[in-house]
């Protein structure tokens, strides 16, 4: 439904979708790496490759928003959290904020 609604390129896979060097959406299943929300609402997303890190850097440079989706493991559903911006990088994570 999200791919049809937002016209995302690529497949219906988990992970990061990059279009023209910009991150347009992330979908975390929180199984392969422990992506997480903090109490303040920031989202820590694990950066799996240097290519993904570079795309997040470019997205931040341009001040663009990223659509954030997560898998609710208890309910086996996908949750849409709206759009977020790149706040900073911490080790192997990018921190996204509203």
Q: Which tens digits make up the pLDDT trace of 44-96?
A: 999 999 999 999 999 999 999 999 999 888 898 889 999 999 999 999 999 99
Q: Which tens digits make up the pLDDT trace of 4-46?
A: 666 665 555 668 989 999 999 998 987 767 899 999 999 999 9
Q: Taking a C-beta distance cutoff of 8 angstroms, is the pair 90, 42 a contact?
A: no
Q: What is the 3-state secondary structure (H, E, C) of the chain?
A: CHHHHHCCCCCCCCEEEEECCEEEEEEECCCCCCCEECCCCCEEEECCCHHHHHHHHHHHHHCCCEEEEEEECCCCEEEEEEEEEEEEEECCEEEEEC
pTM higher than 0.75: yes
């Amino acid at each position: 439904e999200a791919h049809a609604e937002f016209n995302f390129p690529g497949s219906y896979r988990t992970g990061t979708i990059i279009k023209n060097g910009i991150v347009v959406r992330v979908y975390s299943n929180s199984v392969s790496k422990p992506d997480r929300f903090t109490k303040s609402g920031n989202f820590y997303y694990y950066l799996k490759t240097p290519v993904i890190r570079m795309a997040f850097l470019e997205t931040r440079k341009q001040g663009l928003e990223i659509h954030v989706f997560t898998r609710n493991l208890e309910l086996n559903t996908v949750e849409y959290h709206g759009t977020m911006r790149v706040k900073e990088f911490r080790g192997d994570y990018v921190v996204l904020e509203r």
